Amino acid sequence: MLGVQTDTLVGMSTRLTKAVIPAAGLGTRFLPATKAMPKEMLPVVDKPAIQYVVEEAVAAGLTDVLMITGRNKNALENHFDRVGELEATLEAKGDTERLKKVEYSTSLADMHYVRQGDPLGLGHAVLRAHMHVGREPFAVLLGDDIIDPGNPLLSRMIDVHEQRDASVVALLEVDPAQAHLYGVATVESTDEDDVVRITDLVEKPAPGTAPSNLAIIGRYVLKPQIFDVLRETQPGKGGEIQLTDALLELASGPHHGGVYGVVFRGRRFDTGDRLDYIKSIVQLAVERDDLGPDLRRWLRDFAPTLKD
């Protein structure tokens, strides 16, 4: 076996273990909040957005998490690290509930970090994971996209990857007026209701020109051939190295097993977008036992006072 490194061998795959979380974007839509802090650290109720994403990876059985970080990475690393002084203070106070929450975030997964350097695009960020991932399939979860914590989207995508030995993206039906903000897919149906085969992809099509309303959202299960393709991918839309462009190559290249989409019908929040961020806080908070009853009561009183 020594020295043998074929994708066929890897194809006889064991269950995925590695998650890659790109979190090196500039977060310009959230300035000035993101001037000195990554947007992935913005709190959604009382947890930073990134913790929901790591928890989702762990819930899907991915215990090895590689975060792609940029400038201001310290807050991200510190969040998943121990803070002895804080733990000692909570312990001394007998505040076991908060102590458990603090300890939980440090014991979630086996965390690793790599810097992207310049934010040259999502494709470039994913390529930075190559050394760590090697020739295994892996998942990519965008650090600012929250999927409803109760929804097993990622596990479903991993199953589809294993059944079809192909890369898999998550697709969401969006309002056609919003399609220009996403990578948009042209698809063919399969024998499974929630699975489609991707035949074409376009990153952020000009308004009114999107080939469908099926948008790629921030979850991917990728075969390692994506690295070979990304290495050759030239800057595309916005001068960035686009993951969508590399996925199109995987979808159309004859040797890569194609790309499938799992059509997601649950709730998803783009916390990098200010309005979606606010909605995520309200929706997740109203469902909580500790905050929900008071918040619901307040919202009921507040809503009738709103004017257009």
Least distance between ligand UTP and beta carbon 114 (Å): 11
The single residue listed with the structure tokens 């000009």 is 206
Instruction: Give SS3 for 110.
Output: strand
121 binds ligand UTP (CB under 6 A): yes
Least distance between ligand UTP and beta carbon 211 (Å): 21
The answer to whether residues 11 and 23 touch, using CB atoms and an 8 Å cutoff, is no
Task: Give the nearest residue (CB) to ligand UTP.
Answer: 25
Burial of 132 (0-12, 13-18, 19+ CB in 10 A): middle
State the Cα angle at 157 between 170 and 70, rounded to 5°.
Answer: 60
236 binds ligand UTP (CB under 6 A): no
- Of the two residues 27 and 257, which places its CB atom closer to ligand UTP in the complex? 27
- Of the two residues 18 and 124, which places its CB atom closer to ligand UTP in the complex? 124
Interface with ligand UTP (CB under 6 A), residue from 72, 105, 116, 225:
116
Interacting positions 13-72 with ligand UTP (CB under 6 A): 22-29, 68
Tell me how crowded residue 204 is: count the other CB atoms within 10 A of its CB.
17
State the Cα angle at 298 between 292 and 301, rounded to 5°.
Answer: 140
Interacting positions 249-278 with ligand UTP (CB under 6 A): 272
- Of the two residues 25 and 137, which places its CB atom closer to ligand UTP in the complex? 25
Strand partners, 167: 259
Nearest in space to 179 (alpha carbons), one of 201, 151, 148, 146: 201
Count of residues near ligand UTP by CB under 6 A: 20
Q: Which stretch binds ligand UTP (CB under 6 A): 113-121, 156-164, 176-184, 194-202?
A: 113-121
Least distance between ligand UTP and beta carbon 18 (Å): 17
Measured between alpha carbons, how far is 227 from 245 in angstroms, rounded to an integer?
12
Interacting residue ranges for ligand UTP, rule: CB under 6 A: 22-29, 68, 116, 119-122, 124-125, 142-144, 272
